[in-house]
């Protein structure tokens, strides 16, 4: 018997969505190994040979000859417990009713919206009982999640501005410390916008065509996530003229610019917050924040404990009071912020900090507002968990793909999961979202919020190389955290901020720099890397998958491995290119076409 309790399908979700204005994508989940074949039975609910539902009555008793067709579904991926099946369908009149026919050696099962029915020769009428069919009422163009095409071709470079390069010492913050001094929470090293401009050719030569900047607005800390003024460039970084120069020169070189939007919270030195501190409930901004009781500060600021505050914050950080994004005035304020930096400086994208703690209504409005100014602006949400609720086409274009990050680090760097677990994890990420989201998701291995990859890998250069190589072969938009091409070490946590060290440029031409340049070039040259499917091939030790006509072979072990091409893989490889076998060196990789 087919296991009913493992079957899952949800209309209007990652299981059923419009891929474009003509095409539906449909998925269903079954228990792993439980089903041999799945057929999608689908058609227009109003088209019958005789009588029926032509007037909209889906239970019409005089109907016969429903127009539904059977579409064989392909097994999309397998995860730890489930198989996922997929079909693409173009409804002739945008409308669809559908059900699924599941087949095993023991039974045929019709899966509908209201019930599951074992199919027999005596109940074939249920194949046209549309009252039990799932419904995709109409494929509206407006509902299709449309994402800027340029993103899938972008390789990003993330910059923590204070630590990248000091290009203008005349604007150094007061008390700036020597370049290369150990990073702390509040010290400054003087990195600025001019320093980034100085290195645009360096980034272009490596193949990067997108820059993601951590916050650049006026703030009091080196990380600048404690915004003081959203309409002003922090004077330690430069000014608006310098930022405009950066954007224009980057665009001339084919490089996109993404800014960091911190709308979940403000800095405690923002004039808006200070007005609340001074005037409490009498402040005109008293409803701009989540305040539990007044006075806001019930003791001197230095004595405040983040665990016991009269106001909500980001985490337990007393210097970051949480903003009330349900307040109409707050909404209008941030709508203007979002549009201003697009209108005045032509930025290409917003990365949205702590995106999951802000209400969905706010993000729906934000999307409409900024897209009205620049249709192809990219909206990237910071969500560390399953982000399906934000990726229905009405909020973010994509998210930072941390579930994939974790899988790559655990398999290649820490070796805490095996190959089977890794493959299942990668597959699960893919079916969590629509195809268009997966095509544009922001893939990363480390960031300003994590330990450096080399530290995670216990200083093993070969392991981080395999991690980056694999990431570059995957669908999505990859990002490299500044300094990874050196590569840098640095632990995050326990009061340490070594993951935000100062950048140096004496590594140009080094082994790691050359490696990173080569794999980015490889990424741009091989369109196969942007294909959805990883067709995983069996091997005891090697990780092998096929993308289009390209075969990716990775050896994550400390021993050389032999691939016997005269056995399992002969049909996959070009006999004229390789003979009976080939040797993959320890921690090595190759591409075969």
Residue pair 256/154 in contact by the 8 Å Cβ criterion: yes
Point out the catalytic residue in the list 83, 162, 353, 439. Answer: 353
**Closest CA relative to residue 462, chosen from 546, 583, 585:** 585
Burial class of residue 235 in the structure, from the number of CB atoms within 10 Å of its CB (0-12 exposed, 13-18 middle, 19+ buried): exposed
| Cα 111 from Cα 118, distance rounded (Å) | 9
Residue pair 159/153 in contact by the 8 Å Cβ criterion: no
Based on the residue annotation, tell me whether 382 is a catalytic residue of this protein: yes
| Cα 343 from Cα 281, distance rounded (Å) | 35
Hey, how many other C-beta atoms are within 10 angstroms of the C-beta on 576?
A: 6
Residue pair 330/338 in contact by the 8 Å Cβ criterion: no
Q: Where are the alpha helices (DSSP H) in 374-460?
A: 402-408, 419-431, 435-440, 453-456
**Closest CA relative to residue 96, chosen from 19, 43, 24, 18:** 43
Residue 320 CA from chain centroid, whole number: 25
Point out the catalytic residue in the list 162, 165, 192, 382. Answer: 382
- Contacts (Cβ under 8 Å, ≥6 apart) of 302: none
Pairing outcome for strands 256-261 and 349-352: parallel
Residue 312 CA from chain centroid, whole number: 28
What are the residues facing 561 on neighbouring strands? 584
Based on the residue annotation, tell me whether 312 is a catalytic residue of this protein: no
For the chain, what's the residue count? 593
Catalytic positions: 353, 382
């Amino acid at each position: 018997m087919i296991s009913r309790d493992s079957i899952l399908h949800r209309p209007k979700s990652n299981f059923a969505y419009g891929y474009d204005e003509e095409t539906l994508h449909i998925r269903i989940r079954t228990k792993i190994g439980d089903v041999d074949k799945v057929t999608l039975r689908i058609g227009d609910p109003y088209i019958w040979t005789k009588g029926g539902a032509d007037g909209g009555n889906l239970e019409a008793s005089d109907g016969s000859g429903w127009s539904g067709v059977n579409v064989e579904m392909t097994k999309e991926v397998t995860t730890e417990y489930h198989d996922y099946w997929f079909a693409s369908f173009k409804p002739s009149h945008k409308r669809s009713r559908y059900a699924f026919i599941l087949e095993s050696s023991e039974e045929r099962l019709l899966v509908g919206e209201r019930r599951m029915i074992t199919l027999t020769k005596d109940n074939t009428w249920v194949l046209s009982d549309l009252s039990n069919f799932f419904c995709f009422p109409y494929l509206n163009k407006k509902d299709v999640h449309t994402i800027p095409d340029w993103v899938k071709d972008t390789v990003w470079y993330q910059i923590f501005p204070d630590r990248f390069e000091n290009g203008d010492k005349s604007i150094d913050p007061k008390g700036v410390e020597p370049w290369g001094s150990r990073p702390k929470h509040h010290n400054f090293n003087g990195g600025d916008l001019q320093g980034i401009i100085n290195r645009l050719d360096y980034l272009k030569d490596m193949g990067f065509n997108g820059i993601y900047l951590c916050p650049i607005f006026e703030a009091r800390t080196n990380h600048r996530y404690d915004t003081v003024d959203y309409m002003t460039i922090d004077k330690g970084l430069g000014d608006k003229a310098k930022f405009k120069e950066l954007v224009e020169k980057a665009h001339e070189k084919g490089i996109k610019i993404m800014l960091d939007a911190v709308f979940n919270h403000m800095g405690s030195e923002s004039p808006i917050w200070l007005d609340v501190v001074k005037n409490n409930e009498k402040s005109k901004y008293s409803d701009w924040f989540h305040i539990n009781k007044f006075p806001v500060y019930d003791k001197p600021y230095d004595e405040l404990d983040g665990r016991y505050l009269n106001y909500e914050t980001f985490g337990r950080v007393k210097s970051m009071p949480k903003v009330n994004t349900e307040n109409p005035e707050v909404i209008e304020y941030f709508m203007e912020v979002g549009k201003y930096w697009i209108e005045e400086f032509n930025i290409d994208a917003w990365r949205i900090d702590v995106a999951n703690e802000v209400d969905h209504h706010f993000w729906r409005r934000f999307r409409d507002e900024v897209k009205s100014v620049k249709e192809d602006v990219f909206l990237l949400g910071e969500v560390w968990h399953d982000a399906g609720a934000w990726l229905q086409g009405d909020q973010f274009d994509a998210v930072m793909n941390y579930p994939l990050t974790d899988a790559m680090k655990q398999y290649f760097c820490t070796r805490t999961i095996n190959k089977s677990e890794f493959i299942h994890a990668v597959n699960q990420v893919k079916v969590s979202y629509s195809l268009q989201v997966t095509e544009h998701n922001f893939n990363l291995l480390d960031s300003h919020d994590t330990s450096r990859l080399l530290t995670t890998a216990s200083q093993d250069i070969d392991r981080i190389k395999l991690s980056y190589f694999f990431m570059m072969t995957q669908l999505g938009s990859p990002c490299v955290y500044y300094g990874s091409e050196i590569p840098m070490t640095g632990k995050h946590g326990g009061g340490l901020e070594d993951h935000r060290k100062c950048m140096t440029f004496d590594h140009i031409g080094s082994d790691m720099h050359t490696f990173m340049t080569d794999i980015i070039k490889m990424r741009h040259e091989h369109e196969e890397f942007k294909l959805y499917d990883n067709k995983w091939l069996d091997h005891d030790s090697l990780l092998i998958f096929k993308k289009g006509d390209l075969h990716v072979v990775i050896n994550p072990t400390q021993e050389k491995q032999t691939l016997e091409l005269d056995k399992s893989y002969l049909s996959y490889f070009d006999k004229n290119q390789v003979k009976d076998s080939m040797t993959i060196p320890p921690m090595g990789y190759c591409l075969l076409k």
